Amino acid sequence: MTNFPSPSELIAHRAPFLFVDELTALEPGQSATGIWRLTGNENFFAGHFPGRPTLPGVLMCEAIAQVGACAILSDEKFKGKLPLFGGLDGARFRRQVIPGDVLEMSVSLGRMSARAGKGSGVAKVNGEIACECELLFVIVDA
């Protein structure tokens, strides 16, 4: 079994806005896979939606981007940098994600330069696609 760094060792996000509990695969500068265990205690569930808690799609996209940022920042050439959202294309939501679900997010990075890059991400629950999106990262000094 391979031990991967904690997401908080790689990215600047912290609770309550860190949406990756652990990395389960990592190829620095190439790809990453991580999981987010949704307990139901997350405060957004109370208002989205009362009586039918549902993970907001935009937070799924953010979680996918955080996994992508882990892939970027695990590459030494991006040490001291901060990947920011530059764009989000083709986001599609395929299933509802609810408390108790474990969201598995995978990102494959495409072309990356010193200042920007692209990635393709997917989030699944029990192997079933919940969200897919294309990411554009802008790389700035941390």
Per-residue model confidence as pLDDT tens digits over 103-129: 999 999 999 999 999 999 999 999 999
- Model-wide pTM > 0.75: yes
- pLDDT tens readout for residues 90-103: 999 999 999 999 99
Assign a CATH topology to domain 7-141: Thiol Ester Dehydrase; Chain A (3.10.129)
Q: Which of the residues 24, 35, 48, 134 is marked catalytic?
A: 48
Could you tell me what percentage of the chain is helix, strand and coil, using 3-state DSSP and rounding each to the nearest 5?
20, 45, 35
Backbone φ and ψ for 73, nearest 5 degrees, come out as -75, -10
Has 48 been annotated as catalytic? yes
